[in-house]
């Protein structure tokens, strides 16, 4: 299923060609994310489950927080629409295999399975303020699964507690960094994701908001957004 939203294939060709001429990766991602500002939020746009066959989906007319990052990561690696289509398969799925069980369901799947493109810099920018926990992703506290049909994954997660995200930590962030809001829930690594945008005075969190009065891709002050949240995880595109 393909819905290119406000773009045509030729317009995406031009957009991606322009992006490739920009400094990689921050310059490209800063430019590309701007094109998605105001795009509608919609949950569950991907098709597939443990009981329904996986279908390859491109939906640029409406995104959730994770599909937004899927599209951006594939776009920043692509110079044409045709290349974007093929790259998206490799961003979204392990070994580029369009199968539900091969989908990168968790934020921490990115550096785990695509270390040549994305690296975890949380500890690097934390200035000693980070914490590390061992999690069994997909395993609920009650013995069930967040995603039926998906294997559990043992993973060590490093995060910066929200109250330690101070000026030096913010200064270490770059435009284009992928930001995850750490989840304290068993079996989950994050509750939400977005992308860092550095303004002249404010560090922004650009994300697909599911808040009822927003429901679109917006910017929030990252420090303010983190208030009351457990913490921050930062992955950096290479």
CATH value at residue 230: 2.30.260.10
**Residue 128 pLDDT exceeds 90:** no
Number of domains in the chain: 2
Same domain, 222 and 140: yes
Sequence-ordered alpha helix ranges (H) in 64-140: 65-76, 81-92, 109-113, 122-125
**Residue 220 pLDDT exceeds 90:** yes
Of 181-185, 208-212, 231-235, least confident by mean pLDDT is 208-212
Q: Give which of 165, 155, 70, 64 is closest to 122, Cα–Cα.
A: 165
Same domain, 90 and 119: no
Rounded Cα gap, residues 57 and 66, in angstroms = 13
Same domain, 47 and 146: no
Same domain, 53 and 165: no
CATH code for the domain in which residue 67 is found: 1.10.3670.10
Dihedral in degrees, nearest 10, Cα atoms 56, 60, 64, 69: 80
Confidence of residue 31 (pLDDT cuts 50, 70, 90): very high
In this prediction, residues 121-135 reach a mean pLDDT of 93
Mean pLDDT over each residue of the chain, to the nearest integer: 95
First to last CA, the chain: 30
Same domain, 182 and 132: yes
Structure tokens, 63? 């995104």
Same domain, 129 and 82: no
- Would the pTM count as exceeding 0.85? yes
Boundary (domain end) residue, out of 57, 84, 102: 102
Contacts of 80 (CB under 8 A, 6+ apart): 13, 16, 17
Rounded Cα gap, residues 166 and 125, in angstroms = 11
Confidence of residue 24 (pLDDT cuts 50, 70, 90): confident
Same domain, 91 and 22: yes
Contacts of 171 (CB under 8 A, 6+ apart): none
Boundary (domain end) residue, out of 77, 102, 127: 102
Confidence of residue 225 (pLDDT cuts 50, 70, 90): very high
Range of the domain at 122: 108-237
Is the torsion defined by CA of 95, 98, 102, 107 positive or negative?
A: positive
Boundary (domain end) residue, out of 61, 82, 102: 102
Rounded Cα gap, residues 70 and 60, in angstroms = 11
In this prediction, residues 170-178 reach a mean pLDDT of 96
């Amino acid at each position: 299923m393909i819905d290119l939203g406000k773009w045509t294939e030729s317009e995406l060709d031009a957009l991606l060609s322009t992006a490739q001429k920009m400094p990689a990766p921050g310059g490209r991602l800063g430019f590309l994310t701007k094109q998605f500002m105001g795009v509608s939020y919609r949950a569950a746009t991907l098709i597939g489950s443990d009981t329904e066959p996986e279908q390859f989906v491109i939906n640029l007319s409406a995104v959730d927080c994770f599909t937004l990052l899927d599209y951006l990561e594939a776009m920043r690696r692509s110079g044409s629409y045709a290349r974007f289509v093929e790259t998206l398969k490799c961003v979204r799925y392990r070994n580029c295999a369009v199968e539900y069980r091969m989908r990168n369901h968790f934020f921490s799947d990115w550096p785990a399975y695509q270390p040549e493109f994305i690296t975890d810099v949380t500890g690097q920018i934390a200035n000693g303020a980070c914490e590390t926990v061992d999690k069994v992703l997909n395993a609920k506290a009650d013995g069930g699964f967040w995603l039926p049909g998906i294997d559990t994954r043992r993973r060590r997660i490093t995060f910066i507690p929200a109250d330690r995200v101070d000026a030096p930590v913010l200064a270490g962030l770059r435009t284009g960094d992928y930001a995850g809001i750490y989840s304290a829930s068993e079996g989950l690594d994050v509750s939400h994701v977005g992308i860092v945008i550095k303004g002249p005075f404010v560090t922004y969190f650009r994300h697909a908001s599911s808040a009822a009065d927003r429901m679109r891709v917006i910017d929030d002050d990252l420090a303010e957004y983190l208030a009351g949240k457990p913490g921050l995880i930062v992955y950096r595109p290479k």
